[in-house]
């Protein structure tokens, strides 16, 4: 006699399978890092669109509570409401212009006032600007440095000590494949991303034995408003789209969370083409390399 065919036993087997499935989901939902290190609250800057919004989406799906930071109150509140309803998580909204001085300290103080603990910090906010440096607005360039470098460093410096004290946590800083070489017509942007790359890899080495995992993510062209915000000419974007593919933000974020889980120091997303781009500087004279990029990026 097949015991599994007995009605009473069959019902119990169904219940056992359901319970096991629910347990598996529960374990997955509270685990971002291996070893069941619970990451209950993540702070995401630039959360209103693009990669930042996708981080919020995927983390919420893992039952991670969120602190969403950006300038757009309407977009943040809409996203927070959607994720709370969809995943039954808590989502706090902090409306803050990160290009203002001491923006990082303002955010840190607000988090403290709310009695929240940041287990995962995602420094995603940033923008680029296209054109000859001497022709572009200097104030905008300085704002880029404030956003891409200063506030990222500030938030890292404020939240990292707490993570080390707890013996666990995670930080993801978003750089770019632009950070591996100078880029004419995007000189300040590429330089800021080089800072993020080197800064984050150094922190990874400093904190390997602290329980805090630190990762720098270097995406290639990604589906977002980056080119529009950076004021690239439409003709340039059209020409580049013929030779380069846009990686969905969903893929970038999924790869990043896996890399953090593995304890990697850096991640270049987008496949072989981007790996080739970031390794070219190791084999090509710099004058030749910069001249080649100047021709590629010239209007």
Active-site annotation holds for 189:
yes
| Per annotation, catalytic residue among 87, 130, 185, 189 | 189
The residue length of the chain stands at: 299
**Residues 53, 76: Cα–Cα separation, whole Å:** 9
Measure CA 75 to chain center.
Answer: 18
Sheet holding 169-174, edge to edge: 91-95, 65-70, 41-45, 120-123, 169-174, 212-218, 266-268
Residue 157 in tokens: 């410096």
Calculate the CA dihedral of residues 282, 288, 289, 293 and round it to 10 degrees: -170
Helix intervals (H) in 41-122: 50-61, 73-87, 103-113
Q: Which residues are catalytic?
A: 189
């Amino acid at each position: 006699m097949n015991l599994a065919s007995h009605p009473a036993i069959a019902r119990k087997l169904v219940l056992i399978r359901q319970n096991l499935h629910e347990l598996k989901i529960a374990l997955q939902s509270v685990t971002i890092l291996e070893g069941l290190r619970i990451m209950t609250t993540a702070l995401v800057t630039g959360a209103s669109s693009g990669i930042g919004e996708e981080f919020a989406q995927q983390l919420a799906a893992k039952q991670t509570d969120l602190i969403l930071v950006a300038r757009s109150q309407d977009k943040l509140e809409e996203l927070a409401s959607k994720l709370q309803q969809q995943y039954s998580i808590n989502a706090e909204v902090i409306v803050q212009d990160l290009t203002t001085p001491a923006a990082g300290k303002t955010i840190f103080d607000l988090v403290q006032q709310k009695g929240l603990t940041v287990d995962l910090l995602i420094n995603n906010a940033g923008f680029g600007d296209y054109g000859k440096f001497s022709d572009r607005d200097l104030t905008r360039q300085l704002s880029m440095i404030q956003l891409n470098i200063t506030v990222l460093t500030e938030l890292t410096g404020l939240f990292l000590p707490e993570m080390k004290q707890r013996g666990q946590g995670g930080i993801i800083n978003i750089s770019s494949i632009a950070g591996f070489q100078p880029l004419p017509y995007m000189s300040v942007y590429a330089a800021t991303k080089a800072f993020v790359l080197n800064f984050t890899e150094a922190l990874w080495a400093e904190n390997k034995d602290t329980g805090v995992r630190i990762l720098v993510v270097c995406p290639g062209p990604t589906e977002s408003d980056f080119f529009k915000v950076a004021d690239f000419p439409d003709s340039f974007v059209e020409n580049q789209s013929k030779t380069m593919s846009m990686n969905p933000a969903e893929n970038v974020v999924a790869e990043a969370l896996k890399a953090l889980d593995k304890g990697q120091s850096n991640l270049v997303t987008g496949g072989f083409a981007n790996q080739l781009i970031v390794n070219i500087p190791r084999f090509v004279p710099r004058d030749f390399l910069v001249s080649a990029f100047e021709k590629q990026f010239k209007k």
